[in-house]
A and B are shown apart, each in its own frame.
Chain A
Amino acid sequence: MDYILSLVVFFPIVAGSFAFLVDAKSVRVFGIAVAIIEFFLSIVLWLGFDYGIDGMQMVEHFSLISQFGMSYYLAVDGISLFLVILSTFMTMVALFALSIEKDIKNLIIAVLFLETTMVGVFLSLDIILFYLFWEASLVPMLYIIGAWGSERRIYAAIKFFLYTFAGSVLMLVGILYMGHLYYETTGIWSFAITDWYQMVLPFNLQLWLFGAFFLAFAIKVPMFPFHTWLPYAHGQAPTIGSVLLAAVMLKMGTYGFVRFSLPLFPDASIYFMIPIAIIATVMVIYAAMVAYAQEDMKQVIAYSSISHMGVIILGTFAMNTEGISGSIFMMISHGIVSGALFMLVGVIYERRHTKMMREFGGLASVMPSFATIYAIMLMGSVGLPLTIGFIGEFLSLMGFYRIDWIITMIAGTGIILGAVYMLSLYKRSFFGPLVNDENKKLKDLNFKEYSALIPLVFLVILLGIYPKPVLDPISSSVKNMIRIMDKKVINKESKEILYKANSIGGGR
């Protein structure tokens, strides 16, 4: 158990390297086996997780370049734990559903490499290490989109890579500056986030550094108006790429806000709270409306991701336990639900080689199981109570209500617009008469698809009814983080806002 974190991070890449030696025919089984083992490793991590500790635990720390304070520093807390499990779980499920035959060996290796980088991002507490994983995650995704995508895959892949890469460069400058600042104040170099948490920064500096990190996270999320790489990436990516992109990679951005922006620059975060909330609100409504206008089923879900990420941002910037815990829970729920929806689109795409909704209609009568699972995921997506989608959305919106009820109400229209585009998608594709002859002989789900989708359905309902095991550690770690913020804030007004956000009563 001592090195479980390193094991979880590096097992996929090491095992993946051995895949070069495996015969192409059996590599799929090999990949699935690795993903299952990796998932069980992450479950072992969860079992070993001590619910009583709200800070970092299972710390692994070795100095790498001690002159510059760079170290190999991994640890887990309630915030990152479930993002790690989400990554391993979604990778596993996506591999279950994998149906690509072409160059499957390379694909599986790329996916396993990607898994290491995703898990690494969530577990690294040394920022240089974090940055390495953050950037390295682009490479396998670039390859997955570029090699297995549809016609405009090269354009989409390069756009994805350059856009997100450009955003991260500024973050690197911010990181180096922070390191330097730490050196100036304490006399030693350190890039450990826990050390940085102790450092109180002057307000002006906070604003600049917040900005430097903001762009990287905003592009990754993606926040309006930096979102246009996403529809292309999803539109061109193969199913497995879309699943991992939506389920996990977008969460790196929101995770960055929670892990870095808020506790490192609390005054700046509070200062920018309202502007960011307004962007988030715009995102929610704008993306939902654009989603409604789409003709391509996959694009609807791509834009719906942007809309939901807006709610997550709103919850994160609510600055209270309810909102931030809700936003983290929603990262997980959105990961599961959007991943499942992309898989479902993959199912129909594989049968019909089109994603255009006008080609469908009446699918419910030929593919009843498919329609049922789609409906469950749809309800999860619109946030129906007792599905996983409700809890995060509810808590995020409720959290921000304490800050500003008007913004919350406007952003809350997302729950209406979400129903509008999802139900209209469902109506156009599944309801109505079955007119298109090509749809009349469609086969319902096969074993491979069931094996990927049933676990997801199970989770959507189970965590909707009993979210406690996930929500408890998230909540206590978030409380701990808010304590850190509270200790660090320097402006009197920010202190008051933080206090008000976390207390009950007091009238409007």
Chain B
Amino acid sequence: MEKYLYITLFAPLVGSLIAAFFAAKPKELYTGILTSALVGISFLSSIVLLNYVDADTILHVKMMDWISVGNLSIPFGFVVDQVSIIMMVTVTFVSTIVHIYSIGYMEHDKSFNRFFSYLSAFVFSMLILVMSDNFIGLFIGWEGVGLCSWMLIGFWYHKQSASWAANEAFIMNRIADLGMLMGLFLIYWEIGSFQYDIVFANILNLNINTVTWIGSFLFIGAMGKSAQFPFHTWLADAMEGPTPVSALIHAATMVTAGVYLIIRASDIYFLIPDVGYVIASLGAFVAVFAASMALVNRDLKRIIAYSTLSQLGYMFVAAGLGAYWIALFHLMTHAFFKSLLFLGAGNVMHAMNDELDIKKMGGLYQSMRATAILMTIASIALAGIYPFAGFFSKDKILEVAFNHEAYLLWFALFIGAGMTAFYSFRLVMMVFFGEQVHKRLGFHPHEARPFVIYALTPLALLSIVAGFLEYSFHAFVIDLLRDYKFTLDHSVGWMLIVATTAIALSGIAFAVYKYKRGGFGAGVESLGIYKLLVNQYYIPQFYNNAILKPFAAISTFFWKQIDLKIVDATVDLIGKMFYNAGGKTRQIQSGNLSSMLRWMVAGIAVMLVLAIILRPMV
């Protein structure tokens, strides 16, 4: 079975390296086909592994030693267990589809080969992240996906905005990574190892304070990768990257790594429910906070990005409250419908010559029926309507919050569900139905190529049916993860389902009703709340004015005022002092005999005085 593990892991790397070889050359179709095939192989072999793993069998291999020094020993080790295999299958599945889709999407891009090289490198890093058997291996993948994200956001590097967004994403993640590193250091110095099994076996022996610190530090790392408040700004800006990248990295896989970390370290978080509660509260906050920004945004991709942010909040609520398997389940279903939504958006963008403003679209259903249907399916799933996938996973999270008697969190999520339904259908309505604004603006939309549409159907299928996997999923993962006990009365559970469905349906209904009639008038745009939301609560401006500008100013101050004018000037002053002293005293050597004799007398006098003062005491 080890063979399959290595195939899963390294097939994307091989693809990436081969494509990298052609990176600077003009488009070669086969780099796209080859990398897609290799990622596909990786998916198939992870399916084999999925069948192999059960309650008694997991796969754990040690490839080689990496760092060993002092008491420390870090191997390259990989584990395929119930959690990692779910992630592996999800990641490779979505990646395969995104790869195939990209062959169509990047068709006319001059850096076609380079794109596939980066995309496959990302898949490899993500697999390292989820398959590693220790925290440092996870960190390798963690930074690796960060690097690939940087390369892919900045893929069109000639655009200033793209390279800015790429750097922002990398640096924001680095800030959070420092927190994570602190957590890792603490783990090492308390336990002496980074291996999951050893750490989780010994975590109980630690003082609860220490565990709290470890949990908090690791969560800071998770916040960065999963773009939780206050690190959320990079995700919306990351939409500068090509759309397949947004679908794969900034929706389905990389941004869920933070959730994965919490699930993976559930043995740690189980011991510190208080930290868990903080995580859940932050998650609930982000769920509403991000959804509110999605309500008013006009940028097709940013709306979906905020929606991702909001759904990540839902996952953190589940993970924070101890419902690890539900978090993982939502992570999986979300990957399906959110990537579908993004890839559909990619079709729309292509049809509209990369126009992103949804106000300029409208009525696209006429010209791109298939995409419209696919995106509607994804939106229903996202809104959480029975029997679509989102219903099963999202409703469960609301139940968890209620079950936990965290009514405030539940209420936030409840409102969030309504907002989600509204903004999803606002998007669908404004893009595909209503007045055909694009005609007036001179766009000639066309449907994407058939193979692109076919590539998306598996995602659509799973967005519809994945929810029914709930029971088998549950049975499968609780062999490793702690189960979550519902103590809710059956009738209360039903009431919750009814309530959530009702608010979601009314959100959809409201959006459909409103946007059929041309939406809100221009009056809305002058409202203070609208301005607040459309400016993203002025947080990007705040970061710019309170952090970036002062940082640049202080840096320049350090350089020009302190380094040059104080530190260096002092050194030069000392140097000049000697130089000037030399210059002054040189005049003594004038060659004038009488003045030199006078100096000699003075010198002798000084020496005599010194001889008297410093004479040995007898």
Contact = CB atoms under 8 A, between A and B. Distances in A.
Q: Do A and B bind each other?
A: yes
A468 B164 CA distance: 37
B140 A385 contact: yes
Given A397-B181, A424-B167, A432-B157, A507 B147 contact: no
B52 interface: no
Interface string A264-308: 000000000000000000000010011011100000000000000
B67 A432 contact: no
B189 to A, nearest CB: 5
Contacts of B554: 289
Interface stretch (A18-26, A171-179, A360-368): A360-368
A427 B556 contact: no
Contacts of B207: 507
Given A290-B563, A292-B555, A468-B65, A415 B178 contact: yes
Nearest to B569: A228
Nearest to A232: B568
A106 interface: no
Given A416-B178, A467-B67, A293 B558 contact: yes
B23 A368 contact: yes
B72 interface: yes
Point out which of B136, B157, B170, B551 has the most chain A C-beta atoms below 10 A from its C-beta. B157
A504 B67 CA distance: 17
A398 B190 CA distance: 12
A493 interface: no
A415 B144 contact: no
Interface in B66-97: 66-72
Contacts of B552: 292-293
Contacts of A64: none
Contacts of B143: 384-385, 390
Interface stretch (A125-133, A137-145, A318-326): A318-326
A65 B314 CA distance: 78
A360 to B, nearest CB: 13
Contacts of A391: 67
B415 interface: no
Interface in A413-428: 413, 415-416, 419-420, 423-424, 427
A504 B71 CA distance: 8
B213 interface: yes
Given A475-B69, A505-B192, A412 B182 contact: yes
Interface residues of A, number: 68
B563 A416 contact: no
Contact of B558 (A286, A385, A397): A286
Interface string B190-231: 111000000000000011011001000000000000000000
B188 interface: yes
Majority-rule SS of B interface residues: helix
Nearest to B178: A412
Interface in A367-402: 368-369, 372, 379, 382, 384-386, 390-391, 394-395, 397-398, 401-402
Nearest to A225: B567
Contact of B555 (A290, A413, A472): A290
B454 interface: no
Contacts of A504: 71, 188-192
A505 B192 CA distance: 7
Contacts of A468: 65-68
A508 B185 contact: no
A502 interface: yes
Nearest to B147: A384
A321 B192 CA distance: 13
B567 A427 contact: no
Interface string B48-73: 00000000000000001111111110
A419 B70 contact: no
A302 to B, nearest CB: 12
Interface in B543-576: 551-552, 554-556, 558-560, 563, 567-568, 571, 575
A472 B68 contact: yes
Contact of B171 (A289, A423, A431, A507): A423
A405 B158 contact: no
A471 interface: yes
B67 A162 contact: no
A352 B510 CA distance: 62
B568 A228 contact: yes
The number of chain B residues touching the other chain, given as a range, is 35 or more
A471 B556 contact: no
A430 B157 CA distance: 8
A391 B186 CA distance: 17
Given A385-B144, A398-B188, A409-B178, A321 B157 contact: no
Point out which of A322, A475, A502 has the most chain B C-beta atoms below 10 A from its C-beta. A322
A433 interface: yes
Contact of B158 (A293, A362, A372): A362
Interface string A468-489: 1001101100010000000000
Nearest to A155: B572
Interface in B10-51: 23-24
A469 B191 CA distance: 26
A36 interface: no
Given A379-B147, A432-B163, A385 B189 contact: no
A254 interface: no
Nearest to A294: B559
A409 B178 CA distance: 8
Contact of B70 (A321, A412, A423, A508): A321
B132 to A, nearest CB: 11
Interface string B163-189: 110010011001101100110111011
Given A289-B558, A322-B72, A369-B24, A398 B160 contact: no
A468 B76 CA distance: 12
Interface in A333-362: 362
B70 A479 contact: yes
B65 to A, nearest CB: 6
A434 B158 contact: yes
A412 B69 contact: no
A385 B143 CA distance: 7
A164 to B, nearest CB: 12
Question: Which 6 A-B residue pairings sit nearest by Cβ, starting from the closest?
Answer: A321-B70, A431-B163, A504-B192, A293-B555, A401-B185, A228-B568
Interface of B: 23-24, 64-72, 136, 139-140, 143-144, 147, 150, 154, 157-158, 160, 162-164, 167, 170-171, 174-175, 177-178, 181-182, 184-186, 188-192, 206-207, 209-210, 213, 551-552, 554-556, 558-560, 563, 567-568, 571, 575
Given A412-B182, A416-B174, 20 more contacts: A286-B558, A293-B560, A320-B70, A322-B69, A322-B72, A365-B157, A372-B23, A386-B140, A402-B189, A412-B178, A413-B178, A415-B177, A416-B175, A431-B154, A432-B160, A433-B160, A468-B67, A502-B70, A505-B192, A507-B210
16 contacts: A162-B575, A228-B563, A293-B555, A293-B556, A322-B72, A369-B24, A379-B147, A384-B147, A408-B182, A412-B181, A415-B178, A423-B167, A431-B162, A465-B66, A479-B70, A508-B210
